[in-house]
Chains A and B, each alone.
Chain A
């Protein structure tokens, strides 16, 4: 039976680095701008064609989260310093972004 890992704690590791401790003991680290660039919301990724609509050049190099909130039992949401706040990051996506292999 496979156990589904869930985040148990978020840590701010630097001005632009987020750390997540997972229930299975994995520790992952993210450059927050990469997370912003990987936003899957309808503004950033076309809902029908799945084509990426977000131009990385429009995202400030010093973008940071203002705050992070849990969504249901499957995701977290970021309110970003560039005003963007519609992206929902599922735990599944966060695991994939942490382990690209």
Chain B
């Protein structure tokens, strides 16, 4: 008798969605059915297939979510096999449209530090490669016009190609890259005056052909001056990551950077503590995050291989992928992507029209 009742009619879409609504996205704090993650649900007799569309390919709990979905649906009466495909569709950030909007770029993330020398470019380079390796389309804009170090860290010696007035980024280790270092000789100091800084950065934002990107990381120049303000007022930033070392002197400046982004309503995705360990100490980054009410994204251990890899043109997350530092950068990438999804959820859907207007008199 039991076999008779386990007919295909027992397996319904609503029954499946009902059990799946027990699966929570830990970052967004809602269940995956309410979030609209379940796609292509198909029921063929006793076989169920569907995909779960996450908000980032770098989701830290992807495997765990997959297993939960499989177990729950397999537990339903009448279901004999379950096939779950995990996909990701990175959400477009809300930005007030402007002439500097970057078409095709879903999220722009500024990586900043108050103080120089904290390893901001190293963190940016590894974060970019880690996101790309997770399957995301990633671009990197080296806006550190005073000391561009991204070309060295990626081992790029080629000049970017031009297409009319636009520049085509150079692709290396899966990341599309543009840097002021491509345009100035390495041994010449750059003396920039305010208006020149503004002009150069605006060109970077308007004349580079990025193509479709899930994430564009901007390696910001250190400090909280003209260059930082130009980018935060003109680039359609979806969030900022603050890099600090555990030392007090670096933390004080990191706090200033953090405050600057908050004052222009750019969500601070969190604080990263770089060079964490016995040389400089640890814990300062976490304390700063707690005091400021922003997430702590993790610590990157002090490790000579990080520096060597940077100098040799292959970021550590590629050259020593399974090292402690490699793991730390991968975890960081997941955290950043997750915090970005959380920040999106706090804003309304991006239906904004262009806010520019000419007044009719």
Bound-complex Cα distance A67 to B358 (A): 4
**Mask of A8-19 contacts with B, CB within 8 angstroms, 1/0:** 111010010000
Pick from A1, A65, A68, A74: contact of B346, CB under 8 Å: A1
Quote the shortest CB–CB distance from B284 to chain A (angstroms): 29
Interface residues of B in 231-246 (CB under 8 A from A): 232-237
What 1/0 mask marks residues of chain B from 7 to 39 whose CB sits below 8 Å from any chain A CB? 000000000000000000000010000000000
Does residue B161 face the partner (Cβ distance < 8 Å to A)?
A: no
Residues from 250 to 304 in B contacting A, C-beta threshold 8 Å:
264-266
Interface size on B, residues (CB 8 A): 31
Number of interface residues of A (CB under 8 A): 31
B228 CB to closest chain A CB (Å) equals 12
B361's contact among A7, A8, A15, A70, by CB below 8 Å, is which? A15
Fill in one digit per residue for A67-80: 1 if any B CB lies within 8 Å of its CB, else 0: 11111111110000
Q: Which of A24, A69, A91 contacts B98 (CB 8 A)?
A: A69
Q: In the complex the two chains form, is A4's CB within 8 Å of B359's CB?
A: no
A residues with a Cβ closer than 8 A to B are 1-10, 12, 15, 23-24, 64-76, 81, 90-92
What sequence of 0s and 1s flags, for each residue 335-359 of chain B, a beta carbon within 8 Å of any chain A beta carbon? 0000000000111110111111111
Q: Report the Cα distance A74→B237, complex, angstroms.
A: 11
- Tally of A-B residue pairs with Cβ under 8 A? 92
Q: Which residues of chain B have C-beta atoms less than 8 A from A65's C-beta?
A: 359
Q: Roughly how many angstroms separate A19 CA and B42 CA in the complex, as a whole number?
A: 47
Instruction: Report the minimal beta-carbon distance from A29 to chain B, rounded to whole angstroms.
Output: 15
Q: Are A72 and B265 in contact (CB under 8 A)?
A: yes
- Known A-B contacts A71-B233, A72-B237; the reply to A23 vs B361 at CB < 8 A is no
Q: Which residue of A lies closest to B342 (CB)?
A: A1
How many Å lie between the Cα of A64 and that of B357 in the bound state?
13
Complex contact A66–B359 (CB within 8 A): yes
> Which of B58-99 touch A at CB < 8 Å?
94-98
Q: B interface vs A, CB < 8 Å?
A: 29, 94-98, 232-237, 264-266, 345-349, 351-361
Q: Report the Cα distance A12→B358, complex, angstroms.
A: 9
In the complex the two chains form, what is the Cα distance from A40 to B93 in whole Å? 28
Q: Is the CB of A73 within 8 A of B351?
A: no
Given the interface pairs A4-B347, A5-B348, the reply to whether A73 lies near B359 with Cβ below 8 Å is: no
Q: What are some 20 contacts across the A-B interface (CB < 8 A)?
A: A1-B345, A4-B347, A6-B96, A6-B348, A9-B353, A12-B357, A12-B360, A24-B348, A66-B359, A67-B357, A68-B356, A69-B98, A69-B355, A70-B97, A71-B96, A72-B235, A72-B236, A73-B236, A73-B237, A74-B266
Would A72 and B359 be within 8 Å (CB), given that A3-B347, A6-B94 are in contact? no
- Contact between chains at A70 and B98 (CB < 8 Å): yes
Q: Using A68-B359, A70-B96, A74-B265 as known contacts, say yes or no to A8 and B236 having CB atoms under 8 A apart.
A: no
Known: A3-B347, A4-B346, A4-B347. A90 touches B265 (CB 8 A): yes
Instruction: Tell me the bound Cα distance from A92 to B97 in angstroms.
Output: 18
Q: State the Cβ distance, B84 to closest chain A Cβ, in Å.
A: 28
Docked pose: A75 CA to B352 CA in angstroms: 13
A7 to B357, CA, bound (A): 13
Query: Which residues of chain B are within 8 angstroms of A10 by Cβ–Cβ distance?
Result: 355, 357
Assess whether A73 is in contact with B95, with CB atoms less than 8 Å apart.
yes
User: In the complex, what's the smallest C-beta–C-beta distance from B92 to chain A, in angstroms?
Assistant: 13
Tell which of B235, B264, B351 has the most Cβ of chain A within 10 Å. Answer: B264
Which residues of the other chain, A, contact B358 by a CB distance below 8 angstroms? 66-67
Report the bound CA distance from A67 to B180 in whole Å.
Answer: 33
The residues of B that contact A9 with a CB separation of less than 8 Å are 352-353, 355
**Cα(A7)–Cα(B233), bound, Å:** 17
Q: Closest 8 A-B residue pairs measured CB to CB?
A: A74-B265, A23-B348, A70-B96, A70-B355, A72-B233, A9-B353, A70-B98, A65-B359
In the bound complex, do residue B359 and residue A12 qualify as a contact, i.e. CB atoms below 8 Å apart? yes
Supposing A1-B29, A5-B348, A6-B348 touch, asked if A73 and B265 sit within 8 A by C-beta, the answer is yes
CB neighbours (8 Å) of A68 from chain B are 355-357, 359
